[in-house]
């Protein structure tokens, strides 16, 4: 049996940490920096390097007997980081004595049965710049086996989950590549397929034949969606849309996402999303106010920042293992884990456009790495979804994704 097909983010070799020039140093943040027991022992044993043993004072042990470096409580900064923004361990002794996570970040490897990915996190501003700003067209990933592009296996697996992986691996990259359609239209289709597949996985008996027919004709599905939107026969349901964007605003608060470019409290859109709705008509009124802000901002983004958004979406899906290796074998949850930070970025863009009447590619980039740092290195999104599994029925509210740029 052949081994996994290998894919690699094509800018990995170009990447070099920009250290003290980094606008969002990874040594600051709400995550733990762990030290392996072996490295902790090395720090203590190096008698000719007394500063290493002293550095153990900057390390604490957790209830799980894990070693983690201490953080400054107010700045969330690793206390081994110097005032100049450099790692004290690295500057004195090189990478050989650094915690493994610090050497590896932002690179990571994701391995599953058929697939191995070498990629990097978009929470690193330099990776975001190289992958999103410097890449002119798709093809962010290169494969060691050029004859096996992602998602083209033709053998039909037997169990329902493997069928789901098989079909979503075929249609997701193919739909994303249909760039003559707006992103929102393509996302509607992927979300709809994902929701229907989730529904089939809840029942015994494999994917239903109707769904398989539609998956085979995915291009027709996207074409017809576009047509129905143009003919005004399909539009987001105000109730679905308002509830979705209110949930996104709530996550912005919960994840404490703030950005110097946007004054949330002064934003009409932010106030609108925080308005209480008391009756059914309230949803239509609120949705009309939302689109008053989202439509011109989306038009601007399509004209000036489309490539960044296309690359962003492609990379967040792949990094999260969608659709080859979804979290907990749940494609719907993993789709949402990707699309929620994307939606947070868009909502911030809409507010930025409201306040500045423009969004530059560089500004969009800062919003992306800020949101990625806050939203994707913790379990908040997956935990929020797990508390409301009805959200996995994506086909029932896929219309909300039409508004995503």
Binding of residue 53 to ligand SF4 (CB under 6 A):
no
Binding of residue 234 to ligand SF4 (CB under 6 A):
no
Binding of residue 319 to ligand SF4 (CB under 6 A):
no
Q: Are strands 115-120 and 5-9 parallel, antiparallel or unpaired?
A: parallel
Applying CB under 6 A, which part among 12-20, 151-159, 199-207, 247-255 lies near ligand SF4?
12-20
The CB-of-246 to ligand SF4 minimum distance in angstroms stands at 32
DSSP 252-283: HHHTT---TT--GGG-HHHHHHTS---SHHHH
Determine contact, residues 254/260, Cβ cutoff 8 Å: no
Crossing angle of the two packed helices 183-202 and 209-216, in degrees rounded to 10: 150
Which position's Cβ is nearest ligand SF4?
22
- Of the candidates 22, 101, 133, 380, which one interacts with ligand SF4 according to CB under 6 A? 22
The CB-of-12 to ligand SF4 minimum distance in angstroms stands at 13
Determine contact, residues 62/71, Cβ cutoff 8 Å: no
Binding of residue 403 to ligand SF4 (CB under 6 A):
no
- Per-residue x/- mask for ligand SF4, residues 114 to 153, rule CB under 6 A? ----------xxx---------------------------
Binding of residue 99 to ligand SF4 (CB under 6 A):
no
By C-beta, is 117 or 124 nearer to ligand SF4? 124
Binding of residue 26 to ligand SF4 (CB under 6 A):
yes
Burial code of 337-369, b = ≥16 C-beta within 10 A, e = fewer?
bbbbbbbbbbbbbbbbbbeeeebeeebbbbbbb
Binding of residue 106 to ligand SF4 (CB under 6 A):
yes
CB atoms within 10 A of CB 241: 23
Cβ-based burial of 196 (10 A; exposed 0-12, middle 13-18, buried ≥19): buried
Binding of residue 81 to ligand SF4 (CB under 6 A):
no
Total of residues contacting ligand SF4 (CB under 6 A): 12
Instruction: For residues 339 and 70, give the distance between their C-alpha atoms in angstroms, rounded to a whole number.
Output: 33
CA triple 83-91-58, angle to 5 deg: 65
- Of the candidates 17, 174, 239, 386, which one interacts with ligand SF4 according to CB under 6 A? 17
Applying CB under 6 A, which part among 23-31, 138-146, 167-175, 291-299 lies near ligand SF4?
23-31
By C-beta, is 24 or 32 nearer to ligand SF4? 24
Give the footprint of ligand SF4 on this chain (CB under 6 A): 17-19, 22, 24-26, 105-106, 124-126
């Amino acid at each position: 049996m052949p081994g996994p097909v290998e894919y690699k983010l094509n800018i990995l070799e170009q990447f070099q940490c920009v250290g003290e020039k980094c606008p969002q140093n990874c040594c600051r943040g709400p995550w733990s920096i762990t030290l392996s027991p072996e490295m902790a022992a090395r720090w203590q044993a190096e008698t000719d390097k007394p500063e290493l043993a002293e550095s153990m004072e900057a390390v604490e042990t957790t209830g799980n007997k894990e070693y983690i470096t201490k953080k400054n409580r107010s700045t969330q900064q690793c206390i081994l980081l110097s005032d100049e923004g450099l790692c004290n361990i690295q500057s004195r002794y090189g990478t050989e004595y650094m915690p493994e996570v610090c050497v590896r970040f932002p690179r990571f490897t994701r391995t599953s049965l058929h697939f191995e990915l070498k990629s990097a996190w978009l929470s690193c501003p330099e990776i975001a710049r190289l992958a999103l700003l410097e890449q002119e067209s798709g093809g962010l990933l290169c494969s060691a086996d050029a004859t096996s592009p992602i998602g083209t296996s033709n053998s039909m697996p037997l169990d329902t989950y493997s069928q789901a992986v098989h079909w979503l691996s075929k249609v997701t990259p193919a739909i994303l590549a249909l760039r003559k359609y707006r992103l929102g239209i393509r996302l509607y289709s992927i979300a709809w397929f994902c929701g229907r597949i989730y529904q089939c996985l809840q029942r015994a008996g494999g994917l239903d034949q109707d769904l398989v027919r539609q998956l085979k004709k995915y291009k027709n599905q996207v074409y017809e969606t576009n047509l129905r939107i143009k003919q005004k026969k399909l539009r987001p349901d105000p109730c679905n849309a308002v509830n979705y964007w209110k949930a996104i605003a709530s996550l912005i608060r919960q994840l404490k996402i703030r950005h110097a470019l946007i004054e949330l409290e002064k934003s009409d859109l932010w106030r609108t999303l925080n308005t209480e709705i008391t009756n059914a008509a309230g949803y239509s009124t609120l949705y009309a106010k939302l689109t008053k802000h989202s439509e011109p901002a989306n038009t601007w983004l399509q004209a000036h920042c489309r490539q960044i958004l296309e690359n962003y979406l492609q990379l967040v899906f792949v990094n999260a293992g969608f659709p080859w290796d979804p979290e907990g074998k749940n494609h719907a949850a993993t789709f949402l884990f990707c699309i929620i930070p994307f939606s947070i970025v868009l909502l911030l863009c809409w507010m930025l456009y409201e306040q500045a009447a423009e969004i530059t590619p560089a500004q969009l980039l800062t919003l992306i790495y800020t949101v990625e740092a806050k939203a994707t290195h913790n379990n908040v999104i997956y935990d929020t979804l797990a508390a409301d599994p009805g959200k996995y029925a994506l086909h029932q509210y896929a219309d909300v994704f039409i508004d995503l740029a």
